[in-house]
Structure 1
Amino acid sequence: MKAGRLRHRCTIEQPTQQQDPDTGAMIDGWEEVGKAWMAIEPLSARAFIAAQAAQSEVTGQLVMRYRPNLQLDSTMRVRHGGKIYNIEGVLQDNDSGREHITLPYSEGLNDG
């Protein structure tokens, strides 16, 4: 994989619950689990039309180098600048499974 494709420094977050210090209620939030250089690739027009036909919410893919110490799953999200990318799956490369990881994404709402 060419490093030039991986030009976006992204933050990987997982859902968490924390106790509100004032009310004691449990509130949903996000915590950072890592940062990675990624390629952010919207779907091509043909792939987007095919995804819509299958009623998929996937609008693109994130590509990053494989990292054995980082366990990714579809409950996580990626943040880059002011944009949120919801991870819809985790796909390892076809050859060794240890070169790169492709993360199909749907666009999420920015929660501030």
Structure 2
Amino acid sequence: MQAGRIRYRLTFERAVKLKNDAGEIIVDEWVVAFRVWGSIEPVSGREYLTASEFRAGITTRIRVRWRDDLDPSLRIVCAGTIYNIDAILPVQGLHREAQIMCGSGVITEGGSP
């Protein structure tokens, strides 16, 4: 991994799960799991027109140094943008660098885009 490319400070957040009064598990808030430096590369953009709504989606590749506590249940926050993790891939299987495929900007409420 080239040091010049890892210029973004990324915050990985973990969901804190609590039970409500009815005993259902809910996500109450997101807390910081850890912070690392990494690179962000937009891979593709998509635009949708669904049910008279404009929906935009961006697929992004985020690269960080490998950590054993990387988990798809985490989310990444950088400069006010939230990235939902779709997959974590070790580069060449060496566990030195991780490629994290993320989605951002896709509205999924009320149906899939």
Give the structure-1-normalised TM-score: 0.70
CA displacement 1:61-93 (0-9 Å, x = unmatched) = 10001123xx12221100012110001111011
> 2:15 touches 2:27 (CA, 8 Å); kept in 1?
no
1:84–1:107 contact (8 Å) kept in structure 2: yes
Distance 2:27 2:42 in 1: 32
**2:99 maps to 1:102:** yes
Secondary structure at the aligned position of 1:34 is classed as strand
Structure 1 position 17, deviation (Å): 2.2
Q: Deviations over 1:16-48 (max 9, x none)?
A: 12478xx8x86521111100101000005xxx5
- Which structure shows the higher strand fraction? 2
How do residues 1-112 of structure 1 correspond to structure 2 at under 5 angstroms? Answer: 1-18=1-18, 28-43=28-43, 59-68=59-68, 71-96=69-94, 98-107=95-104
Q: Whole-Å Cα distance in 2 between the matches of residues 2 and 89 of structure 1?
A: 22
| Structure ranking higher in helix proportion | 1
Query: TM-score, length-normalised on structure 2?
Result: 0.69
Q: In the alignment, is the contact (CA less than 8 A) between 1:59 and 1:105 conserved in 2?
A: yes
- Runs (4 or more) in structure 1 with deviation over 4 Å come to none
CA contact (8 A) 1:86 1:108 kept: no
Q: How many residues align?
A: 94
C-alpha displacement of 1:15: 1.1
Residue 13 to residue 103, structure 1, CA distance change in 2 (3 Å): same
**Could you say what the CA RMSD is over the residues aligned between the two structures, in angstroms?**
2.7
On the 8 A contact 2:73/2:85 being kept in 1, the answer is yes
Would you say the 8 A contact 1:18–1:29 is kept in 2? Answer: no
Quote the sequence identity (%).
30
